[in-house]
Amino acid sequence: MERVAIIGVAQTKYEQNKPDTFAELIYDVVSRALEDAGISIKEVDNVVSVSSDFWDGRTISSMAISDASGAFGKDITTVEGDGTFGALYGMMRILSGSFGCTVVCAHHKGSESNMRGITNTAFDPLVERRLGLDAINSAALQARRYMDKWGVWEEQFAAVSVKNHGNALRNPLAMLPMQISVDDVMASRKLADPLKLLDCSPVTDGACALILAAERHAKKWTTNKKRVWMKGVGHCSDAFRLGDRDLADTRALKQAAKKAYAMAGIADPVKQIDVAEVYDAFSYMELMWLEGLGFCEDGMGAEFVERGHADFEGKLPVNPSGGRLSAHPVQVAGLAAMAECVLQLRGEAGERQVDGAETALAHGINGMCGQSHCVWILGK
Amino acid sequence: MGKRVGIIGVGQTHHAAKRLDASGVELIAEAVTRALDDAQLTINDIDAFVIGNMDHFENINYVDMWAADGLGSCMKPVFKVTTGGTTGTTVGACGFYHVASGLFDVVMAVGWEKNSESDTQAAISTCANPTLERDSFAGAIGPLATEYSMYMKAYGATEEDAARVAARDRNNACNNPYAHIRQHVTVEEVLASPMLSYPIKFLDMCPRSDGACAVIFAVEEKAKKLCPKPAWVHCSVVRHDYTHFGDLEWTWMPTLERATKEAYRLAGIHDPLKELDVCELYLPASTCGVKWMDSCWFCDKGEAPQLIRKGVFEMDGELPINPSGGVISCNPIGATALIRVGEAAWQIMGRAGARQVEGAKKAMATGFGGCSWSDVFILGADLP
C-alpha cells in the first residue's frame, strides 16, 4: 500500500469574535498550508472541506468556502464532523489511486453560533431533545457516571484543566493560556453538576488546513524534515441513545485505537507514542480517553495524570498545545490536533516542543459524550 | 494503486410525499435491509458505513450518530458526508473511496431525506450568500428557470422540448415500483400545467419526497465471490464551480461538461452517445434534460432539442435516459443522487425489472446540486 504524508499545515490563532468570514478564514489557512508545503494550488487535485450546516447557520455550508479552498474546477467533497474524519477521507482518496494531493480544511465560528440550541439538535427529537439535553449537561451525566463507576472525584478532573491551561501558556495560538490551580477550577461557576466553567472547553473561532500527498509526490516536493507519515488510523461509533450506552465505557475508542495501533505497529502505546493530542472537550474526558487509548487501565486515568505522566515533562505528554480546554473550534479541533502533532514531529512546535518526538497520536470525536472516535498515529 | 470496486447490492424505500408510517431512522432501516437482501448479506458483513442528507431539512445534527439504529452501525466505523443536492453521489463516492483505498472490504453508503418534515425551499434558500444573493437566487427553481430561458434564447429550444422530457421521465416512472409519482402524462398536459417560474411549469419540476437509498460497495475479490454480476465502478468524478450564482455561466453547464469529459477519459469512452447503454441523470427539472445534454457531450452545443425531438433518449431510443423516471418522479433529496447510482447499478446487474434496458453494459449516473455542481459515476459490466 502506498503511504500518505502530511506535507503542509496551517492554523489560525484561536480566539472569539473573529471578524473574518468563513471564506477568509479558509483562504488564510489553505494559502499558508500550501506555502508551508512549498507547493501551489496547481499541484492540488482534490479538496475535502469539513463544515457543519448547523454551526455555520447555512445550508450546504461548504458552498461558502468552495472558492476560498481552491476547489474551482476540482474534485471536492465535504465531511460533516470532526476534522480527523475529514483527514481520514482525504487519505482514502489518495490511497484509492485517484488523487495525488489533497487539501483538507475546516473552519468554525462558535461565537456566531448558539451552542446550546445546536447541540440540543444532536439528540433524539421526540424524547431526549425535549428534556433540554445539550453538549454540557449530557457531558455532566457522563462525568457523574464515570465518577460513580471508578470512584474518581472532581478535584481529579480539575487537575486536567490546570495542566492543559498551563500548557497553553507555551502555545501562542491557544485562546485560554492560564496559570490556575485546582482550587480555581473548583471555585469556578457550576454549569451542570459536577462540571464547572473551567472543566469545559470554550466557544472558539478558527480554522486549520492540512496538505496530504501521496508518497511519490511527497518525496519529490518536500524534504524529509517536512514530511510526516499517516501511519495508522481507526474509527468506530457506539450506540446513539445515551440510555443504550454505559457512558463510562470507552469500547468504541478502544476499537478505533486497536485498529490504528495495528496499522501503525504500536504494541505498547505508552512506550511507543511520544506525544498525544487527545479530545478534552471537558476535563473528565481526557481521563476517560487516556483509558480508552490504552495508556492506562480502565479507571486509572486520574492516577496517570496525578503521577505527572501526562505532563509536558512526563513520560507521555498529553495535550501540550493546551488541548480543546484552551481552544475548541468544533470540527476544526481534531484537525488542529493533527496539525499540532505534525509540528511536534517536525520539531517546529516552539516552546511547546516535546523533545525528540518520533511518533504522535491525534484523536477526534463525533456526537455527544464521545459516541464516535477517530484515532490517528502519525510518525517520522 | 487502489483496489477495483464493484456495487453488489442496492436497496431503496418505496418513496412517497409523506411516509407517515416511518420515522427517518425507519426509512434508513428499510433501505439498508433491502440492500442487504439484494446482496444476500447480513449486517455483520458490512465493515463500514457512510451516510448523508441535508441538515436543515429534518433539523438533526450529527445524523451519522443519530442513524445508528437504522444503519446497524453500532460499534462500526461511520461518518457523514454532505454537499446539498449532490449528497447522494457524494455518499456513493465516499463508499467507493472507502473500498478503493484498501482500508475496507465491504462498505454501505446511505442517503436519505424526510422532506415532509421540512420547509424545503426555505432551507435551500440559506445556501446563498446572506447579503448578496439570498433574495434573488433563493430556492431551487429560480436558477433553473434562468438557465433555460437563456438556453432558449441562445439556441431556439422551446418549452415543448422540455415538456417532451417531462413526459418521457414521468411515463418511465410507471415502470418503477419505488417511484414517488407514477402517472402517465402527455406533452400537452405538461405544457398546460401551472407556471412556477417561467419557463418551468409544475409538471416540469421535481417533487419533494420521503425516502432512503443504500448501495453496497465491495472490493474486487469479494464482489466476484458475493455477486454473480457486480456493477463495476469505472470512475467517480466531481467538478465544482464558483461560490456565487452571479459568477456562473448560464447558457451551458460548465461543471457537467468538465466532469463528464474527465469521466469519459477515465472510462475510455470516446463517443458517449454510442458507447453508453443507459443513463440515470440528476435532472431536477425537465428543462435540464434538454440543455444539459450538450454538456454531456451527446451533441454539439444547441443541438440537444433535435435529439429530444427524434426520441433518442426514449426507452426505445439510442440511449435511454432515466428509465426509473428520474428526479422529477422522485426526489428524497439526500438520497436522490444515490438512487441514480443504484438504478444505474441495477441496470448493469440486470435487476431493473420492468424498466430494464436489455443488455446494458455501460451506464452513467450523475448528481447535481450546490452552486451548479456536477458529480458523475460510470459503471460497467466489465472490470475497469
| Residue in A23, A234, A240 closest to B69 by CB | A240
Per DSSP bridges, beta strands A195-196 and A75-80 are unpaired
Q: Is A187's pLDDT higher than 70?
A: yes
Mutate: best of B97, B120, B137, partner A, most A CBs <10 A: B97
CA angle A69, B100, A102 (to 5 degrees): 20
A81 in contact with B, Cβ within 8 Å: yes
CB contact under 8 A, A121 and B64: no
What DSSP assignment string belongs to B135-147? TTS-TTHHHHHHH
- Dist CA B31 CA A355 (whole Å): 52
CA dist A172 → A176, A203, A322 (Å): 10, 18, 10
Cα of A79 to nearest chain B Cα, Å: 4
- Dist CA B87 CA B341 (whole Å): 12
CB contact under 8 A, B242 and A67: yes
A372 in contact with B, Cβ within 8 Å: yes
A135 in contact with B, Cβ within 8 Å: no
| Residue in A62, A92, A239 closest to B98 by CB | A92
- Please, which residues 6-25 of chain A have a Cβ atom closer than 8 Å to chain B? 23
Q: Which residues of chain B have pLDDT under 70?
A: 1, 138
CB contact under 8 A, A66 and B240: yes
Cα of A45 to nearest chain B Cα, Å: 11
**Which chain A residue has its CA at the smallest distance from B236's CA?**
A98
Instruction: For residue A265, name the pLDDT band (cuts at 50, 70, 90).
Output: very high
Instruction: For residue A37, name the pLDDT band (cuts at 50, 70, 90).
Output: very high
Instruction: For residue A245, name the pLDDT band (cuts at 50, 70, 90).
Output: very high
Question: Model pTM?
Answer: 0.98
A236 in contact with B, Cβ within 8 Å: yes
Instruction: Please report the pLDDT score of residue B133 as a whole number.
Output: 83
**Which chain A residue has its CA at the smallest distance from B123's CA?**
A59
Mutate: best of A59, A91, A368, partner B, most B CBs <10 A: A59
Q: What is the mean pLDDT of residues A333-348?
A: 98
CB contact under 8 A, B2 and A57: no
A118 in contact with B, Cβ within 8 Å: yes
CB contact under 8 A, A234 and B77: yes
Chain A residues touching B102 at Cβ < 8 A: 1, 95
- Dist CA A7 CA B125 (whole Å): 38
Length of chain B: 384
First-to-last alpha carbon distance for chain A, in angstroms, is 17
- Dist CA A62 CA A44 (whole Å): 18
CB contact under 8 A, A74 and B94: no
CB contact under 8 A, A121 and B77: no
Strand segments, DSSP code E, in B263-337 are 278-280
Chain A residues touching B369 at Cβ < 8 A: 60
Instruction: For residue A316, name the pLDDT band (cuts at 50, 70, 90).
Output: very high
Chain B residues touching A366 at Cβ < 8 A: 62, 64-65, 79
State what percent of residues in chain A have pLDDT above 70.
100
Instruction: Please report the pLDDT score of residue A13 as a whole number.
Output: 98
ipTM of the complex: 0.97
Q: What is the mean pLDDT of residues A230-254?
A: 97
Instruction: For residue A342, name the pLDDT band (cuts at 50, 70, 90).
Output: very high
Give me B289's grid cell.
Answer: 434534460
Q: What is the mean pLDDT of residues A2-6?
A: 94
Please list, in sequence order, all residues whose beta carbon lies within 8 angstroms of the beta carbon of residue B188, skipping any fewer than 6 positions away: none
Is A297 exposed, middle or buried, given 0-12, 13-18 or 19+ CB atoms closer than 10 A? exposed
> What's the pLDDT tens digit per position in A144-185?
999 999 999 999 999 999 999 999 999 999 999 999 999 999
Q: What is the mean pLDDT of residues A110-134?
A: 94
> What's the pLDDT tens digit per position in B238-293?
998 888 888 888 888 999 999 999 999 999 999 999 999 999 999 999 999 999 99
3-state SS track over B247-260: HCCCCCCHHHHHHH
CA B245 centroid distance within chain? 22
Chain B residues touching A81 at Cβ < 8 A: 62, 64, 79-80
Instruction: Please report the pLDDT score of residue B119 as a whole number.
Output: 86
| Residue in B75, B80, B124 closest to A255 by CB | B75
| Residue in A59, A72, A80 closest to B127 by CB | A59
The domains located in chain A, with CATH, are 4-114+203-221 (3.40.47.10)
Mutate: best of B5, B23, B103, partner A, most A CBs <10 A: B103
Cα of A84 to nearest chain B Cα, Å: 11
Mutate: best of B81, B91, B118, B242, partner A, most A CBs <10 A: B81
> What's the pLDDT tens digit per position in A188-231?
999 999 999 999 999 999 999 999 999 999 999 999 889 999 99
| Residue in B60, B68, B84 closest to A239 by CB | B68
| Residue in A60, A118, A234 closest to B84 by CB | A60
Q: Which of A229, A209, A264, A283 is nearest to A375 (CA)?
A: A264
Cα of B66 to nearest chain A Cα, Å: 6
CB contact under 8 A, B126 and A57: yes
- Please, which residues 172-231 of chain A have a Cβ atom closer than 8 Å to chain B? none
The domains located in chain B, with CATH, are 5-121+209-233 (3.40.47.10), 123-207+236-380 (3.40.47.10)
Length of chain A: 380
- Dist CA B83 CA B56 (whole Å): 12
A77 in contact with B, Cβ within 8 Å: yes
**Which chain B residue has its CA at the smallest distance from A256's CA?**
B77
Other CB atoms within 10 Å distance of the CB of residue A225 = 11
Cα of B348 to nearest chain A Cα, Å: 23
Q: Are B21 and B49 in contact (CB under 8 A)?
A: no
- Dist CA B97 CA B92 (whole Å): 9
Q: Is A1's pLDDT higher than 70?
A: no
> What's the pLDDT tens digit per position in A319-330?
999 999 999 999
